[in-house]
Amino acid sequence: MNRTKFPLCTLMLCLAACAGAAEAGTSAETAKEAMFTVNNLWIMIAAMLVFIMNLGFATVESGLARAKNCTNILFKNLMVPAIGILTFALCGFSLMYPEGHWTLSGILGWNGFGLAAPAGAPEGYNGTFTYWTMFFFQSMFAATAATIVSGAVAERIKLNAFLIFTLLYAALVYPVIGSWGWGGGFLDKMHFHDFAGSTFVHSVGGWGALAGVILLGPRIGKFVNGHSMPIMGHSMPLATIGVFLLWFGWFGFNGGSVLSADPEKVSYVLVTTTLGAVAGIVAAMLASTVFLKKPDLSMTLNGCLAGLVGITAGADCVSIPSSLAIGAVAGVIAVGSVLLFDRLRLDDPVGALSVHLCGGIWGTLAVGIFSTNPEYTFLTQLAGAGCAALSFPCALAIFWVLKKTIGIRVSADEELRGLDLGEHGMEAYAGFQIFSNQ
C-alpha cells in the first residue's frame, strides 16, 4: 500500500514542479520581450528628438543671419538631413559600423552597400533594439555633423557647392572617422570615450566648418580697416527658439546614447546634460558681461549650446559637480573663442566654430580630466581629439577642389542683394522692404 502511494505522490510533485518551471520560463521570456520592446521604443523616440534638432539648427542659423539670407539657410537645413540620411543608408552606415569587416585593421571597415539586417540582429545590438532602430538613430547623428558647417559658411557660399560638400562629407569623412571609436576601430581598442558625440559629431562638424570659413573668406563689410564690424542677426526670437529646440533634442541625443531604456543610466545622463547646459548659460552670461560690458543674448545662447556640446562626451561618466564645471568652462570658451576668431579674421556668422569645434575639443578632453572611470585617460582623449582633427584636411581638400572647379562663393553683387533672391528667387518675408544691411 505504501509502496503504491509513494510513486504516485512523487509523480504529482514532479508534474507540479515541471508546470511551475514552465510558467516561470514563460514569465521570464515575456519579461525579456517586454524589456526589448521598451528599450527599442526609447531609442526610436530619442532618434525623433534628435531629428527635431534640424529645426533647431535652422532657426538658430536663420535668426543669427540677415533677413535677406533667411530662405537660403532654411533651404540648406532642409537639404542636409535628406542628403545625410540618404548617404548614410547607401554607404555611411556600413563604413561607420562595419560589424568586424575591416579591410585595414581598426582604420577602415566596410560591410557593403545599402541596408540589410543580419541574422540575429537584436543580439548583435546588445539585445536591446533592432538593426533598423540602430540605423534610424545613428542616421540622425550623421545629418547633424553636416548641419554644423551650414551656419559657419552662411551668407556667402554657393548652394550647389555646399550641397556637394555635404554629400561627400556625410558619406565618407564622418562615418570613417566615427568608425574608429563607435564602430569598434582602433580608438575603441584604446578605451577612447566619446559617449554621444563631442568628438565624432561636433568636433568633426566644427573642423569641416573651419575649412569652409578659411577658404571662403569673410563676408563683405565684416572686417574694415583691420577692425571687426558687427553684423547683427535679423531675429533674436528665432535664434532663441532654435536654442530651446536644440536643448530639447539633446535629451534624445544624449539620453538615447545610453542605448537602452535603463532607468538609472538614462535619468543620470539627462541630469548631467541639463546641468551642463545651465552652467554654460550662466558662465557665458557672466563672461560676455565682463568682456563686452553688457550681457549679450547671442553669446549666452551659444553658451547654452557649448555647455551641451561639452558635456556630451562624458555625460555618462562624470560626477554631478563635474558636469557643472564642464558646462561652465564650455560657456566661457564659447565667448572667448568668438572674440579670438574675430581677431584672426575668421568670419563665423553663428558661432559654430566656438560652440562645436572648441566646445567639442573641450568636451573630449574633459572626459580625461573628470571621468570616474580610470580607463579614460587624458592622453587617450587627447589622441582621439587629434584623430578627429584629420577631418580638417579632408574638408579642406573637398572645399579646395570645389573652389577650383565650380567655385564656392557667390558674386559680390549677389551677396549684397542676398542669397534668397540670388539662389532661390524668393524672399523669406515677402512684402517687406529688405535693405542690403538687414
Query: 13 lies in a domain?
Result: no
Q: Please tell me the predicted confidence (pLDDT) of residue 23.
A: 55
Query: 100 lies in a domain?
Result: yes
Of 176, 171, 170, whose CA–CA distance to 146 is shortest? Answer: 170
- Rg of the chain over Cα atoms, rounded to whole angstroms, equals 25
In sequence order, what are the residues at sequence separation of 6 or more whose Cβ sits closer than 8 angstroms to the Cβ of residue 126?
A: 259, 260
Question: Structurally, how many domains does the chain consist of?
Answer: 1
Query: 24 lies in a domain?
Result: no
State the Cα–Cα distance between residues 156 and 158, nearest whole angstrom: 7
Q: Would you state the cell numbers that stand for residue 119, as one nine-digit string?
A: 541574422
pTM for the full model?
Answer: 0.91
Query: 345 lies in a domain?
Result: yes
State the Cα–Cα distance between residues 307 and 329, nearest whole angstrom: 8
Q: Please tell me the predicted confidence (pLDDT) of residue 429.
A: 92
Residue 108 DSSP SS3: strand
Q: Please tell me the predicted confidence (pLDDT) of residue 1.
A: 40
List the chain pLDDT tens, one digit each, 438 residues.
Answer: 444 444 555 544 454 555 454 555 578 778 888 888 899 999 999 999 999 999 999 999 999 999 999 999 999 999 999 999 999 999 999 999 998 888 888 899 998 898 887 766 555 466 788 989 999 999 999 888 888 999 999 999 999 999 999 999 999 999 999 999 999 999 999 999 999 999 999 999 999 999 999 999 999 999 998 888 989 999 999 999 999 999 999 999 999 999 999 999 999 999 999 999 999 999 999 999 999 999 999 999 999 999 999 999 999 999 999 999 999 999 999 999 999 999 999 999 999 999 999 999 999 999 999 999 999 999 999 999 999 999 999 999 999 999 999 999 999 999 999 999 999 999 999 876 554 444
> Across the strands, what pairs with 205?
none
State the Cα–Cα distance between residues 353 and 358, nearest whole angstrom: 6
State the Cα–Cα distance between residues 313 and 80, nearest whole angstrom: 24
Q: Please tell me the predicted confidence (pLDDT) of residue 145.
A: 83
Q: Please tell me the predicted confidence (pLDDT) of residue 143.
A: 83
Sign of CA dihedral 181, 182, 188, 193: positive
Q: How far apart are the first and last CA of the chain?
A: 105
Query: 6 lies in a domain?
Result: no
State the Cα–Cα distance between residues 83 and 171, nearest whole angstrom: 9
Query: 2 lies in a domain?
Result: no
Q: Which CATH number fits the domain that encloses residue 360?
A: 1.10.3430.10
Query: 3-state SS of the chain: helix, strand, coil percent to 5?
Result: 70, 5, 25
Residue 356 has, within 13 A of its CA and on its CB side, a CA count of 30
- Residue 117 has what DSSP assignment? P
Query: 99 lies in a domain?
Result: yes
Query: 429 lies in a domain?
Result: no
Residue pair 354/341 in contact by the 8 Å Cβ criterion: yes
Cα 76 vs. chain centroid, distance in angstroms? 17
Q: Which residues form the domain of 190?
A: 30-424
SS (H, E, C) 22-33: HHHHHHHHHHHH
